[in-house]
């Protein structure tokens, strides 16, 4: 049996599919399972033991793919509501399972099983599991899968030792911002600086790793300048896999809602995560993670808009959760 999963999504949305992938492989353990992800984010699936083959796809590329006959899939699951991805899946598969699509009228094919999204919001993991439940798969848990290699862990240990010092504990990773189109999810830089100064004052040997991609490097450098040699800037210096490996060395992760926050949850790192009211933590935070502290925007559940300011989350609120985790920590 051949199975195909299409997930042309960002880092976090890709990781949120991993419990569904695991459930699918559990239902069909002898099947060959191929996952195609966005080429810039497919690294989140590397080393996943439930995936037999990993490839790339985007909606724009999908329209040119699958026209030459080859091995067909018995079943394809399309996690993005995208017409081109569905058409590609139909070209290469006997059956397709997909969510209800706004463009449903453009595709009429009896081989597609449509799964209705819930009317009321539910956790993103549970929503994605609806697709595999349509073929009889059952989740064995709701944790996310992100698997590091021994080589990645060793390289991360060397980096931390050289940039932060061997005795830098607690080691705290900080994700200062989300991506550009979701900047309303960012907590003000001044509040991060205040928080990190409090941590340094109470936990004198603490060191901070400022995480992020190239777009977050300027902000990270600004924060590091204000905190001096207690900070190491990783933002913009490395790719996804190396950054995630460094995160595995942390005693604590603090961040806004974005891809690395999902990775921190998948790695089981003690964490404090800040969520905007349009994307509440109750629907996105890692499930079953006993050392995750969720900070919801005050407007969550009512009066929320894209203009709701993350600055309404006080430093005191975040500080209280940080202290609870650091006081009870077991350093790596």
171 vs 234: CA distance, rounded Å: 13
Mean per-residue pLDDT over the chain, rounded: 94
Q: Is residue 171 part of a domain?
A: yes
Residues 40 and 107 in one domain: yes
Residues 69 and 161 in one domain: no
Residue 328: pLDDT band with limits 50, 70, 90: confident
Q: Is residue 274 part of a domain?
A: yes
Axis crossing angle, helix 259-266 with helix 240-247, rounded to the nearest 10: 50
Q: Is residue 141 part of a domain?
A: no
With a cut of 60, say whether residue 198 has pLDDT above it. yes
Q: Any idea what the CATH number is for the domain that residue 229 is in?
A: 3.40.50.2000
Domain boundary among 133, 163, 193: 133
Closest among 72, 89, 67, 71 to 80, alpha carbons compared: 89
Domain boundary among 133, 163, 198: 133
pLDDT at 329: 67
Residue 102: pLDDT band with limits 50, 70, 90: low
pLDDT at 318: 98
Share of the chain above pLDDT 70, in %: 97
Tokens of residue 38, six digits: 């966005």
Report which of residues 331 and 254 the model is more confident about: 254
Q: Which pTM value belongs to this model?
A: 0.94
Q: Is 228 left (phi over 0), alpha (psi -120 to 50) or beta?
A: left
Output DSSP code: residue 167: T
pLDDT tens, residue by residue, 295-326? 999 999 888 999 999 999 999 999 999 999 99
Domain of residue 12, residue span? 2-133
246 touches 159 (CB < 8 A): yes
Residues 181 and 265 in one domain: yes
């Amino acid at each position: 049996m051949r199975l195909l999963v299409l997930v042309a999504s960002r880092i976090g949305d890709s990781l949120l599919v991993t419990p569904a992938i695991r459930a699918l492989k559990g239902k069909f353990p002898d099947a060959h399972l191929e996952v195609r992800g966005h080429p810039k984010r497919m690294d989140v699936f590397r080393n996943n033991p439930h995936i037999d083959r990993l490839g790339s796809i985007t909606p724009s590329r999908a329209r040119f793919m699958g026209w030459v006959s080859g091995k067909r899939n018995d079943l394809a699951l399309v996690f993005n509501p995208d017409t081109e991805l569905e058409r590609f899946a139909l070209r290469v598969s006997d059956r397709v399972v997909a969510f209800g699509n706004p463009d449903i009228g453009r595709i009429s094919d009896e081989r597609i099983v449509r799964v209705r999204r819930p009317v009321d919001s539910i956790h993103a993991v549970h929503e994605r599991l609806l697709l595999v439940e349509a073929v009889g798969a059952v989740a064995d848990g709701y944790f996310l899968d992100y698997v590091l290699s021994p080589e990645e862990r060793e390289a991360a240990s060397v980096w931390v030792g050289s940039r932060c010092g061997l005795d830098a504990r607690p080691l705290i990773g900080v994700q200062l911002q989300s991506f550009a189109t979701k900047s309303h999810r960012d907590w003000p830089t001044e509040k991060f600086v205040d928080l990190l100064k409090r941590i340094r004052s109470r936990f004198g040997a603490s060191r901070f790793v400022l995480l992020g991609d190239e777009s977050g490097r300027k902000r990270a450098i600004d924060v590091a300048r204000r905190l001096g040699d207690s900070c190491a800037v990783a933002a913009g210096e490395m790719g996804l896999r190396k950054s995630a490996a460094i995160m595995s060395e942390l005693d604590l992760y603090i961040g806004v809602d974005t891809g690395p926050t999902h990775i921190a949850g998948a790695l089981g790192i003690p964490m404090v995560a800040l969520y905007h009211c349009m994307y509440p933590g109750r629907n996105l935070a890692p499930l079953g993670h006993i050392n995750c502290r969720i900070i919801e925007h005050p407007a969550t559940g009512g009066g929320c808009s894209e203009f709701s300011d993350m600055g309404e989350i006080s430093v005191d609120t975040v500080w209280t959760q940080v202290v609870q985790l650091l006081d009870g920590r077991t350093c790596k």
